[in-house]
Structure 1
Amino acid sequence: MPAVCTRPPTSVVRKLRVTEPALAIGIDIGGTKVAGGLVDESGAVVEQVRRSTPHRTTEPKVVEDLIVEVVEELQDRTAIPVIAVGIGAAGFVGTDRATVVFAPHLSWRDEPLRDTLATRLAAPVFVDNDANAACWAEYRFGNVQGESHVVMVNLGTGIGGAILVGGRIERGRFGIAGEFGHMQVMPGGHRCECGNRGCWEQYASGNALVREARSLIAAGSPLAHDLSDRAGGDPQSLTGPMITEAARSGDPTAAELLAEIGTWLGTGLANLADAFDPGAFVIGGGVSAAGGLLLDPARDSFRRHLAGRGYRPEARIVQAALGNEAGFVGAADLARTAVLRKEDRR
């Protein structure tokens, strides 16, 4: 009878790393999902798993249980040892890269996520902001390879952001750099889940897109006939992908809604260009799947609002290449990089 395979001791893991791929697991925690992937050194996704995130008022342990479930399922799908687990969290991650200080879309407040998970998982755990992870993935394997100065903007439930300078993620003095979604762009505007009003993500995110479309359906607007049909007449059933699909099918209202989000996006990018002067903006997150329907209006708005327009180089605005996989691919690669650097120093 064949022997039962058990997880090898650390010494065996190091030996295997010489001849086997250095596989890492990345986890991307968003406002609505936990996505995980088993990722090799080239950024290729070997296996992936996705789960819906419980409601944001749920106790943190419920989300942590989901993370452990996803990691263990991915570990069970490979006979090669996993050398690290990287977590990309949608929230403010402290300089210790261990604590989620605040998560607007989840009920995490000073949550010691790394240490909690480290007691439950068999590989070293590293925590970072989800947009930092996605930016790293695009820099290593995506559409901004070789670019020295990158700003990433992730349009999902809210807006996440990241800054890369000289091949390094810039995390700021307190670890919270890149939270562009909470820049105030409309004083006294829509209330944001962060507690303030008029944040950028209230005008240029997936939530903003769906909110405006639902309001048209609820008001009985004849302009929203197609969107209402797609949602079965129930505004709450409408989703961002439905709006994007309607726009692609020629619905002018859906296209107009995406263009409005794009206009807000481009205005914000012009402000970020003044602050950071990047060579490229990379736009990721679920809303970026709209492609030119979103990015063409964003580019037009960017050019109209850019200070010194016509007399300065313009940053490229590109769609993220890795799509919904960018967050967990980047988290895995950041974790693998950290482990291998530690090994090199020994």
Structure 2
Amino acid sequence: MVFTQTAGRRLRGLVIGIDIGGTKVAGGVVTPTGRVLSRLRTETPDRSKAPEVVEDTIVDLVEQLRRGHRIRAVGVGAAGFVDERRTRVLFAPHLSWRDEPLRESLQDRLGLPVVVENDANAAAWAETRMGAGRGVRDVVVVNLGTGIGGGIVIDGALRRGRHGLAGEFGHMVVVPDGHRCECGNRGCWEQYASGNALTREARELAAAHSLTASRLLEAADGDPARITGPLVTALAREGDRACVELLEDMGAWLGAGLANLAAAFDPELFIIGGGVCEADELLLAPARAHFRRALTGRGHRPEARIVRAALGNEAGLIGAADLARDVPSHRGPRRPGRAARSRLLFSRGSGPRPRRSGMRSGGRL
């Protein structure tokens, strides 16, 4: 389906934002100020399912959310590689999408303009425009979840890179020949500063029957496999020294990686989001300290601030909705012009070709 262009305008009214992760698909009806009026959430279909199953899930959420609302567009934040035109999901590690023309498929089924964006980019945009980075023009957002993703906003614009794949910070190699990463490399940053890294380190400490991990092991009913990142954070808040040290170690890795990003992008502000940020200053305080120690030219340059994200788990869908506002207004399928209709008609062999005149291009004989 083709939509007409409305140049130079952003859509007002209500837009639906969809956030697709490895475990959940969340959706919401979002106002121009970023307020979420209604919400729905469901589980992400198993990666073994056909691409159409995930598409069906998105369509079902949108159809439920649009009841009683006049919706102008849909923004979809997807965990994966999205092309620079924001139309196709090139690769999604937790889904079966491989070069999937998602925007076209959803527009045909929904009859609304659709924008597809990387989920971390969408969250970064929301935090910059409506969250912790409001009023700041140069921001790097780092999301700490199962892995590490992020987004780059420079001079007030979201930077996606030439192929749309910028912001994959988690796969910077920080330890040559380090821990094996799901991406196929070794020593990626997310193997040391993500939710998975925190859980792995805690389980290894408990499995070694270290006396310092006695409370952690007791809280997991004696089974290291039951230890999770939220459990570590909860015990650290209660003052358990082993869990505090685990978060300090992770904070040091986080700070080192941020120093690398500062050398590359020189932002005014780092915003740290994702579920791991529930640890708050138990994580961010050691991150700031190590950032200062690792920063290139420390003591002779301005330092970027490091703050916690403000929008929580809804940043992705809020950002996806806001990015969809740059899609032209929906005025239904566009009819081809007379010349285009003639070309289409004759290309199908349904009549004689038009007689060529004696004029060539440029109006010369």
CA shift, 1:223, in A, is 2.9
Superposition TM-score, scaled by structure 2 size: 0.83
2:14 aligned to which of 7, 23, 35: 23
Structure 2, unpaired ranges of 5+: 333-365
Matches within 5 A, 1:96-135: 96-135=85-124
- For 2:346, the equivalent position in structure 1 comes to none
SS in 2 for 1:171: coil
SS in 2 for 1:177: coil
Q: Distance in 2 between matches of 1:342 and 1:268?
A: 46
CA shift, 1:27, in A, is 1.3
> Which gives a bigger RCO, structure 1 or 2 (Cα 8 Å, sep 6+)?
2
Matches within 5 A, 1:247-326: 247-326=236-315
CA 21–97 in structure 1, closer or farther in 2 if over 3 Å, else same: closer
Q: Distance in 1 between matches of 2:45 and 2:12?
A: 34
Instruction: Please tell me whether residue 64 in structure 1 is matched to residue 55 in structure 2.
Output: yes
SS in 2 for 1:281: strand
> Do the aligned residues in 2 keep the contact of 1:60 with 1:107 (CA within 8 Å)?
yes
> Do the aligned residues in 2 keep the contact of 1:160 with 1:179 (CA within 8 Å)?
yes
CA 114–341 in structure 1, closer or farther in 2 if over 3 Å, else same: closer
Matches within 5 A, 1:125-204: 125-204=114-193
CA shift, 1:340, in A, is 5.6
Q: Distance in 2 between matches of 1:287 and 1:319?
A: 11
SS in 1 for 2:165: coil
Q: Distance in 2 between matches of 1:67 and 1:234?
A: 38
Query: Which amino acid letter does the alignment assign opposite residue 159 of structure 2?
Result: E
Superposition TM-score, scaled by structure 1 size: 0.87
> Do the aligned residues in 2 keep the contact of 1:38 with 1:74 (CA within 8 Å)?
yes
SS in 2 for 1:31: coil
Identity of aligned residues (%): 62
For the aligned residues, what is the CA RMSD?
Answer: 2.4
Q: Distance in 1 between matches of 2:306 and 2:36?
A: 25
User: Which structure has the bigger radius of gyration?
Assistant: 2
SS in 2 for 1:185: coil
CA 232–194 in structure 1, closer or farther in 2 if over 3 Å, else same: same
Count of residues in correspondence between the two structures: 325
Q: Distance in 1 between matches of 2:60 and 2:221?
A: 34
CA 238–60 in structure 1, closer or farther in 2 if over 3 Å, else same: farther
